[in-house]
Amino acid sequence: MNICSLVVQTRPDRAQAVEQRLLALPGVEIHGGRAEGKLIVTVEDTGRSEVADTLASIKGVEGVINTVLIYHYGGDDLEAV
């Protein structure tokens, strides 16, 4: 199981559109930051995609200026819970 949090930077006037594009990716949740153009995002493994694949896809989303990885957890102990 892998879980990451990151900040995805976009222009504030494009944040809503970028948010919708990100939510279409597997394992993505948005937790705020739209008004500032700095979306707070978590990504976790799903049965159909791994975090690394989703992170690579985020960089190619139209309107994304930059991404900054804030936190990463990887381990098997979450699967046992």
For residue 76, what is the DSSP state? S
How much is the pLDDT for 1? 84
pLDDT at 67 over 90: yes
Q: Considering only CA atoms, give the Rg of the chain.
A: 13
* Residue 8: partners with Cβ closer than 8 Å, 6 or more residues away: 18, 22, 38, 39, 41, 58, 64, 66, 67
pTM (predicted TM-score): 0.87
**Domains of the chain, each with CATH number or no CATH:** 2-74 (3.30.70.920)
pLDDT at 78 over 60: no
CB 26 within 8 A of CB 47: no
Average pLDDT taken over every residue of the chain = 92
Among 39, 52, 70, residue whose Cα is nearest residue 1: 52
